A and B are shown apart, each in its own frame.
Chain A
């Protein structure tokens, strides 16, 4: 079974600085999808970024980028120019690409605090 590990329960960053959140996963599949979701205090789960494993290029969405290391099974999220609104719980998630594989497997999350 696939597992997703987020080794940092909590992280903090100064406003305008850069922070990197770590995620590792275990799978025997060669094709799969990885995601970062943000959950602010409102509890709404918001997609931050998505990466297809077959793509070598790291995904980027404005101030958010990933460092995808397929061989190392590592998928870290970098937040540049951190803003107060970035404070939230961040979840890394994995999904296989098989025809019947619908399940997202989530890590336990990293709570990010942004200090003014």
Chain B
């Protein structure tokens, strides 16, 4: 049972380039989330999807877009990467908003 998977594990971008971070879960969870983790800080919510077909902004959504492709997959897109988006990105999922969130292994992104 893979749980939550993320691709890629590591990526280097130049300022202005775009990319999509992929996330998939095999636990049949309804809710999915994208967080970012910066040095010396806990995780901060970027976007979440309460259920298939819905997405909502979290605490730090600027510069990002998301797509809930189906129940399993939730992608995060950077249209024009900036150095301030250098971070580690975590995807998570939960059965619903009352249940525990389970995290993927993270994607380390470096924007030069």
Contact = CB atoms under 8 A, between A and B. Distances in A.
Interface string A87-102: 0000101010101111
A11 interface: no
Nearest to B9: A43
Given A91-B42, A106-B42, A108-B40, A99 B102 contact: no
A103 interface: yes
Nearest to B41: A108
A108 B39 CA distance: 9
Q: Taking each of B42, B100, B105, which has the highest tally of chain A beta carbons within 10 Å of its own beta carbon?
A: B42
B43 A101 contact: no
Interface string B20-60: 00000000000101010000111111001010000010110
Contacts of B41: 106, 108
A103 B35 CA distance: 10
Given A97-B98, A102-B31, A45 B90 contact: yes
A42 B48 CA distance: 24
Interface in A46-94: 46-47, 50, 91, 93
A44 B43 contact: no
B58 A103 contact: yes
Nearest to A9: B40
Contacts of B97: 95, 99-102
Contacts of A37: 103
Contact of A45 (B31, B44, B98, B103): B103
Interface of B: 31, 33, 35, 40-45, 48, 50, 56, 58-59, 88, 90, 92, 97-98, 100-103, 105-106, 108
What 4 A-B pairs are tightest by C-beta distance, nearest first? A106-B42, A45-B103, A43-B106, A103-B45
